[in-house]
Amino acid sequence: MFAARSRRLLLGATTVALVALGACGDDSSSSATTAAVPTSASAATTEGAATSTTTGSDQSAAETYCTDKGGKLVVRTATWNTNADESDYLQLANTLTFCEFESTDSTGNTTRISVDLTTLYSEEPTLASVAYLSEVKPTLPNPPGPNPADYSCSVDLSASAAFGGGAAGSGWVNNDEPVFKVMDECVFPDMSAIDAFGIWYHATGAIRGADLAPLFRYQPGDELPAIFPSGPGR
């Protein structure tokens, strides 16, 4: 089991300011990638969701693992223009089943983190799981922008959370979700995906939804693959 990482209870003044800025434009107004990703059907599958690349008993086992760990299966569709009225959303072809974890703090603030099922369930590494465990110190946009999580996803992790350009917004949508309807996913070249805000906060010492480190089936021991530079927690 890899060594336990220390947690910082307080963020620096600069980080706090950016956190507040990210929270103002929460996951529902953020960008995500249009890159093709493996799709999956689950007990939560909505009409039109594509067939999973993981089938049969493995898929069933992955879904059971998610719910046994306290997660929720949510099928999401890649969608552009989420800053507009919902009637103007452009739903794209790709869907993906996420395992999502939610928590509420003492002030009543509820947060959520999502991760693709393969990353959560696989005993082998994905770029998303290694990136999360590496706790890469985020690079702050200069001048500060509205979404430091998306910026870090691109600059620090060589992944993508953006649909094209402009301010149209985009994300991974499930219309049945009352609060977390749109999630902002950081998608990697191996097609693994993890919530952009969740991984950004984790790297700064804060947890949204749940700490995924002990929930991944992939446990690298004392040394992670040297894919990403390890942050202060490693």
The low-confidence residues of the chain, meaning pLDDT below 50, are 1-26, 28-53, 233
**Count of CB atoms within 10 A of residue 17's CB?**
14
Question: What is the phi/psi pair of residue 10, to 5°?
Answer: -125, 140
The closest of 78, 63, 49 to 170, measured between CA atoms, is: 78
- 186 close to 151: Cβ distance less than 8 angstroms: no
The token pair at 68 is 């046994």
- Tell me which amino acid residue 230 is: S
Q: What is the pLDDT of residues 145-165, one digit of tens each?
A: 778 999 999 999 999 999 987
Domain parsing of the chain, residue ranges? 26-203
Return d(Cα 159, Cα 206) in angstroms, integer: 21
- This prediction has a pTM of 0.75
Per-residue model confidence (pLDDT) at position 45: 40
Characterize the bridge pairing of strands 182-183 and 193-195.
unpaired
Return d(Cα 192, Cα 50) in angstroms, integer: 17
Per-residue model confidence (pLDDT) at position 232: 56
Per-residue model confidence (pLDDT) at position 167: 79
Return d(Cα 40, Cα 59) in angstroms, integer: 8
Per-residue model confidence (pLDDT) at position 165: 79
Question: What is the phi/psi pair of residue 192, to 5°?
Answer: -80, 155
Q: What is the pLDDT of residues 108-143, one digit of tens each?
A: 999 999 999 999 999 999 999 999 999 999 999 988
